[in-house]
């Protein structure tokens, strides 16, 4: 608990503390400026889409890694974590080179919201995969075999047996991916275009306020962002909790 | 690959040299990122002199505004080399740099200068030579975001001053800024980011420093640059901090920055040297309509006034311009 306080709670408390220097009214005014709100909406929207895509794709990847056998599986398995190891600014630049105006595939999504989403998908890939994988490994295949012997189709087995067992893990992966997507800076600063109201995300907006000496504005948006993220994480946690109890009953 | 090279340059934030065990002591140099190569050469040249013999350096390079905040937050610095005066004035406010830093020598603390130029695609297919060309239909202009990048502020003031130079009123020049930013499809966070974006093929013209344009050519980005008829003189300041003033080695190095060897190192990197004897051999083109940030005639009146009027994040003219992009 002491460790948690020093490493996490102290910095967060300091941020909240520093944000109140201008008074609550000033804080509210800063956080609700139209360009700040536009950035916030974009950030939360893209993070939500990113989390959803991860829920599906991440579960799929985990499934393939656990249930399928193929050559080079362990290599692929190690590749999953690489997005974490790459400095995110390099990731952003590499993605821009791939999907930007002079990319080799002829698709140009650089400086658009789609480009933003691709960058976030890249850096958040491991979360759901790594959350689901161990649960899937532990999952007893006997239940599925029993269902199959009773005549359940592949889809029914997945929906009734596998999915409910995986859901808590998927949700914790989704929560992590969402939180990371909300706060990401390095990977998106280059590819997003940073046009206010169009492609500027909150982290870049906050950076701009800091660079212009408006610490209150930066802190205000950060605190609002944190509060909303906390709300979303709590909601996901509560849903998970409810599901688990619901299943037992 | 080009892109990845640039990324590595951007990622190289902190470079510390070996800790000083010598008699000469050590100097903490905190600088913005672009003149890194120049300072590398200058430091070697300084260490070969009598005054610099045995002096070791701790060097740190990053974005100018970040460096100013880092120093204010406690990063040791004897000499600060930043991209514009307001960043050093911020350190004056924090009681780290003495108030009279500009009167350190007859160059007012300016080691080299440059101008805002237009970088265009090979052969200038869109025929972009003047400020009016930037707001023609279909032209895409790349400039960093003026709230995240100090370099972008030079661009904005170059545009405003150039319009005033051509006889336009204050109102007309401001209207031009609105028009100009509607031609900007991307506002990268820094000058270096902007260069990467342009090198990736986005945009028809990039507004940047002349020295950065020269750097891009050296790195093999296929571009050419044009100096518009009227543009702003970019002066990058260096100052001794209070701790630097107490160190003879730091003072000697500060003085050395205006020596012919150091000035040549700046010139070799595309910066115009300010010391006359050296400047002669590096005549980078300067247009007839050159003006400075202090220009009273064009209504600029120096950084403090410009910053308040144009770049206040709430009430500044550029804040209103950025807000207008939402409509």
The per-residue pLDDT for range A168-223, each reduced to its tens digit, is 999 999 999 999 999 999 899 888 888 889 999 999 999 988 888 888 889 999 99
Distance from CA of A140 to the nearest CA of B (A): 46
CA distance A141 to A119: 36
Q: Are B162 and B306 contained in the same domain? A: yes
Residue A101 confidence (pLDDT):
82
* Contact flag A194-B90 (C-beta cutoff 8 Å): no
Q: Are B199 and B185 contained in the same domain? A: yes
Residue B190 confidence (pLDDT):
86
| pTM confidence score | 0.83
Interface size between A and B, measured as CB pairs under 8 A:
102
Q: Spell out which residues of chain B touch residue A37, defining contact as CB-CB under 8 Å.
A: none
Q: B273 touching A, CB under 8 A?
A: no
* Contact flag A96-B196 (C-beta cutoff 8 Å): yes
* Contact flag A93-B3 (C-beta cutoff 8 Å): yes
Question: Residue A248 pLDDT > 70, yes or no?
Answer: no
Question: Residue B13 pLDDT > 50, yes or no?
Answer: no
Q: Are B274 and B169 contained in the same domain? A: no
Percent of chain A with pLDDT over 90: 41
Q: Are B213 and B297 contained in the same domain? A: yes
Q: Are B27 and B64 contained in the same domain? A: yes
Domains in chain A (CATH in brackets) are 31-248 (1.10.3720.10)
ipTM of predicted assembly, 2 dp = 0.76
Q: Are B136 and B250 contained in the same domain? A: no
Q: Are B20 and B33 contained in the same domain? A: yes
* Contact flag B6-A93 (C-beta cutoff 8 Å): yes
Please name the residues between 180 and 209 in chain B that touch chain A, using a CB distance below 8 Å: 184-189, 193, 196-197, 200-202
| Nearest CB partner across the interface for B7, out of A33, A90, A197 | A90
How many domains does chain B divide into? 2
| Nearest CB partner across the interface for A89, out of B11, B201, B313 | B11
The conformation of residue A101, written as its DSSP 8-state character, comes to: T
CA distance A99 to A119: 10
CATH number at residue B274: 3.40.190.10
Q: Are B211 and B139 contained in the same domain? A: yes
Q: Are B51 and B83 contained in the same domain? A: yes
Q: Are B211 and B313 contained in the same domain? A: yes
Find the domain containing B87 and state its range: 2-112+236-282
Cβ neighbours of residue A103 under 8 Å, at least 6 residues apart? A97, A110
* Contact flag B148-A207 (C-beta cutoff 8 Å): yes
C-beta atoms surrounding A125 within 10 Å: 22
Q: Are B33 and B107 contained in the same domain? A: yes
Q: Are B177 and B293 contained in the same domain? A: yes
| Nearest CB partner across the interface for A197, out of B3, B201, B325 | B325
For the CA atoms of A117, A119, A122, A123, what is the dihedral angle to 10 degrees? -110
* Contact flag B187-A194 (C-beta cutoff 8 Å): yes
Q: B68 touching A, CB under 8 A?
A: no
pLDDT digits (tens, 9 = 90+) for A96-152: 888 888 888 878 888 889 999 999 999 999 999 999 999 999 988 888 889 889 888
């Amino acid at each position: 608990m002491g460790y948690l306080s020093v490493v996490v709670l102290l910095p967060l408390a300091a941020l909240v503390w520093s944000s109140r220097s201008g008074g609550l009214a000033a804080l509210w005014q800063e956080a609700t400026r139209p360009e700040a709100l536009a950035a916030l909406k974009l950030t939360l929207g893209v993070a939500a889409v990113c989390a959803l895509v991860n829920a599906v794709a991440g579960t799929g990847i985990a499934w393939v890694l656990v249930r399928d056998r193929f050559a080079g599986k362990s290599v692929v398995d190690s590749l999953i974590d690489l997005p974490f190891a790459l400095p995110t600014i390099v990731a952003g630049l590499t993605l821009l080179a791939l999907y930007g105006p002079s990319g080799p595939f002829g698709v140009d999504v650089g400086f658009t919201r789609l480009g933003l989403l691709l960058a976030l998908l890249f850096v958040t890939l491991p979360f759901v995969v790594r959350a689901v994988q161990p649960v899937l490994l532990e999952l007893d295949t006997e239940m599925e075999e029993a269902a199959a012997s009773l005549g359940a189709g592949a889809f029914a087995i997945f929906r009734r047996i596998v999915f409910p067992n995986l859901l808590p893990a998927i949700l914790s992966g989704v929560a992590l991916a969402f939180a990371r997507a909300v706060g990401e800076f390095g990977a998106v600063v280059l590819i997003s275009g940073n046009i206010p109201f169009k492609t500027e995300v909150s982290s870049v907006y906050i950076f701009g306020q800091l660079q212009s000496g408006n610490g209150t504005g930066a802190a205000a948006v950060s605190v609002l962002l944190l509060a909303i993220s906390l709300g979303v994480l709590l909601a996901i946690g509560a849903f998970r909790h409810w599901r688990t109890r619901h299943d037992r009953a | 690959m080009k892109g990845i090279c640039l990324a590595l340059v951007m990622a190289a934030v902190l470079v510390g040299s070996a800790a000083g065990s010598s008699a000469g002591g050590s100097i903490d140099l905190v600088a913005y990122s672009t003149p890194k190569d120049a300072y590398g050469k200058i430091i070697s040249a300084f260490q070969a002199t009598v005054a610099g013999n045995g002096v070791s350096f701790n060097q740190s390079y990053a974005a100018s505004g970040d460096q100013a905040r880092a120093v204010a937050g406690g990063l040791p610095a004897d000499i600060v080399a930043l991209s514009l005066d307001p960043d050093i004035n911020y350190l004056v406010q924090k009681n780290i740099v003495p108030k009279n830093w500009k009167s350190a020598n007859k160059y007012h603390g300016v080691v080299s200068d440059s101008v805002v130029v237009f970088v265009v695609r090979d052969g200038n297919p869109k025929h972009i030579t003047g400020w009016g060309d930037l707001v023609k239909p279909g032209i895409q202009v790349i400039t960093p975001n003026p709230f995240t990048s100090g370099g972008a502020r030079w661009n904005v003031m170059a545009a405003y001053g150039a319009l005033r130079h051509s006889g336009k009123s204050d109102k007309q020049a401001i209207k031009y800024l609105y028009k100009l930013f509607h031609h900007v499809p991307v506002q990268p966070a820094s000058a270096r980011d902007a260069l990467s974006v342009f090198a990736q093929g986005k945009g028809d013209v990039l507004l940047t420093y002349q020295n950065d344009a020269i750097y891009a050519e050296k790195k093999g980005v296929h571009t050419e640059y044009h100096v518009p008829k009227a543009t702003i003189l970019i002066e990058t300041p260096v100052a001794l901090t209070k701790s630097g003033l107490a160190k003879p080695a730091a003072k000697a190095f500060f003085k050395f920055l205006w020596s012919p060897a150091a000035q040549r190192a700046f010139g070799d990197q595309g910066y115009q040297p300010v010391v006359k004897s050296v400047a002669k051999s590096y005549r980078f083109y300067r247009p007839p309509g050159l003006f400075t940030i202090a220009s009273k005639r064009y209504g600029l009146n120096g950084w403090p006034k410009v910053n308040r009027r144009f770049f206040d994040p709430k009430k500044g003219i550029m804040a209103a311009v950025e807000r207008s992009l939402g409509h």
